[in-house]
């Protein structure tokens, strides 16, 4: 995703302008709380619902394992579903948040091969922000900004 910039020009009532300028500050609004809540939600979603639905919940259902690999996997790791052998990839979703940035990733060495697919392995996407997830992130951000504006006596 590309970086975005927002420019705000404040004019009007001097008291309100002073409050708004104080709220925004020289570094902008701190969105760490909303971004952190979003990161926690998304990492749990990716490792939970996406795996449980085998990609269906994000509109990218995972293809079946090919028959020979499925038979081999059933012998070696009986009862384990697709993309789970040790559980390492499932536990490797992480995030880092700051005042204006959220980074999400999976630190497993083989994650990218499954996420993107390869010449010999079909894509089994795990990380995707669909409309429903985007709406949830917006709710976290609005909640954070609203709380900050309320504390600054702007609401």
Q: Is residue 108 part of a domain?
A: yes
In-domain check, residue 12: no
> Would you tell me how many other CB atoms lie within 10 Å of the CB of residue 114?
20
Q: Domain of residue 45: give its range.
A: 28-151
pLDDT over 70 at 123, yes or no: yes
The pTM (predicted TM-score) of the whole model is: 0.82
Q: Based on the structure, what is the number of domains in the chain?
A: 1
Specify if 141 maps to a domain: yes
Task: Take residue 117 and report the two structure tokens written for it.
Answer: 């697919």
Q: How far apart are CA 126 and CA 107, in angstroms?
A: 13
> Residues 96-118: what's their mean pLDDT?
95
> What are 25-66's pLDDT values in tens digits?
666 788 999 999 999 999 999 999 999 999 999 999 999 999
Determine the average pLDDT of the residues in 88-92: 94
**Residue 3 has what pLDDT?**
57
Summarize the confidence of residues 132-151 as an average pLDDT: 92
CA-CA distances (angstroms) from residue 101 to 30, 39, 40, 98, 111? Answer: 10, 10, 14, 5, 23
pLDDT averaged over every residue in the chain: 89
How many percent of the chain have pLDDT more than 90? 68
Q: Measured between alpha carbons, how far is 17 from 84 in angstroms, rounded to an integer?
A: 55
């Amino acid at each position: 995703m590309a970086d975005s910039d927002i420019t705000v020009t404040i004019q009007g009532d001097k008291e309100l302008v002073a409050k708004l300028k104080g709220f925004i500050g020289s570094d902008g609004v701190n969105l760490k709380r909303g971004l952190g809540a979003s990161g926690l939600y998304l990492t749990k979603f990716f490792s939970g619902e996406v795996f449980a639905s085998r990609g269906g919940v994000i509109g990218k259902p995972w293809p079946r394992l090919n028959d020979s690999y499925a038979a081999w996997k059933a012998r070696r790791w009986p009862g384990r579903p697709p993309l789970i052998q040790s559980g390492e990839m499932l536990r490797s979703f992480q995030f880092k948040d700051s005042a204006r940035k959220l980074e999400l990733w999976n630190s497993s060495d083989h994650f990218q091969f499954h996420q993107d697919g390869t010449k010999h392995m079909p894509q089994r996407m795990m990380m995707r922000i669909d409309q429903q997830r985007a709406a949830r992130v917006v709710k976290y951000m609005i909640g954070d900004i609203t709380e900050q504006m309320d504390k600054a006596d702007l609401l």
